[in-house]
Amino acid sequence: MSLLVEYTIVEGMADAQKEALTSFVEGLKEIADEGYSYTAFETDDPTRFIAVLEFRDEAGKKRFLDSGPFNDYRDGSAGRFQNPPSTTNIRLVASTRD
């Protein structure tokens, strides 16, 4: 199970968002939970970001949502986002990743 997350941040907040994402991912890496993965992307539009979340199962999704790094990131995002993120359920068809 996977999610595509798309969101727009307030103009001028791209560097703050990239720093927040780097800190967030470092926190997730410290947990070393193999039940989920999170990958963030910036786009050519400096206000638009995309993330892909992959969960091994519902338990992995719950651990991600309950994790300290996720809660810290979410709580710290106030003032950076123009609107709440939109999420789309996505399903893997093919990948070069193992």
Look at residue 96 and tell me if it is in a domain: no
Look at residue 44 and tell me if it is in a domain: yes
pTM over the 0.85 mark? yes
Look at residue 45 and tell me if it is in a domain: yes
**CATH code for the domain of 73:** 3.30.70.100
Per-residue confidence of the chain (98 residues) as pLDDT tens digits? 899 999 999 999 999 999 999 999 999 999 999 999 999 999 999 999 999 999 999 999 999 999 999 999 999 998 899 999 999 999 989 989 77
Look at residue 50 and tell me if it is in a domain: yes
Look at residue 60 and tell me if it is in a domain: yes
The number of folded domains in the chain is 1
Look at residue 95 and tell me if it is in a domain: no
Which range of residues forms the domain containing residue 37? Answer: 2-90
Q: What angle do CA 87, 4, 35 make, to 5 degrees?
A: 110
Strands, E assignment, 26-98: 36-42, 48-55, 86-90
Largest CA distance in the chain: 37
